[in-house]
Every structure is written in C-alpha cells, then in structure tokens.
Amino acid sequence: QITLKESGPTLVKPTQTLTLTCTFSGFSLSTSGVGVGWIRQPPGKALEWLALIYWDDDKRYTPSLKSSLTITKDTSKNQVILTLTNMDPVHTATYYCVRHVRGVPDYWGQGALVTVSS
C-alpha cells in the first residue's frame, strides 16, 4: 500500500522559511522513473505544481519560485524535504506531497495546511 504524509509547521510568519517533510511508504525512490514532488493549493484556488525530485536526484522547480525553493531526498529514510524561503501570506495553502511515475502524479498525500501570518 502506497502512502505519503506531509509534516511541518501549520503557521509561519512572513519572511520566514518553510520546511516541509514528506514521509512515504510502499515504494522506493531508488526505482527508475519514480519521483516525489510538491503541489500546493491556496484556499478556493487552483492547484500549483512546485517541485519534483527524481530517483536519480534530478530536480525540477516551477520557474516563478525557482530561487526560493529547494527539494532534497533521503532515500534511506523514505523522505523528501521541501524548503520555501521568504514566505508571504499569498503562500498560504494546502501543500501536497505527490508520487510521480514517468511524470504522472499518481499518489497524493492528504495535504498539510500552512498559514502565513504575523
């Protein structure tokens, strides 16, 4: 059974750095073609793809946030970590951790709501 779960702070202040951890099970991030990424959704708004790390450590970022995002993996712990610097209230959203296989986001975590407010 494949599961992914997001963890991290629920509230961050403007200008702070957000660090989210995705802990997954039921698959390996060492398998060719597999990646784990992050997608967010502000309340009542559209989904926004953020970042993806592949089994071979290839990393992809959405261009508009590339300078603010970092994605890393710890294969031994089955974890993927996302950091987003200089948080702003517009970054308030539910952040989803998502497995990708050959580019297709097939399994999603339940999501973690992060609020940016002073």
Query: Applying CB under 8 A, which part among 12-20, 23-31, 55-63, 74-82 lies near other proteins?
Result: 55-63
Q: How far apart are CA 98 and CA 89, in angstroms?
A: 23
Q: Which stretch binds other proteins (CB under 8 A): 8-16, 18-26, 80-88, 99-107?
A: 99-107
Residue type, 28: S
Residue 56 CB neighbours (<10 A): 12
Among 7, 15, 30, 64, binds other proteins (CB under 8 A): 64
Strand-pairing partners, residue 77, are none
Task: Map tokens 């539910």 to a residue.
Answer: 94
User: Which residues of the chain form contacts with other proteins (CB under 8 A)?
Assistant: 39, 46-49, 52, 60-64, 96, 103-111
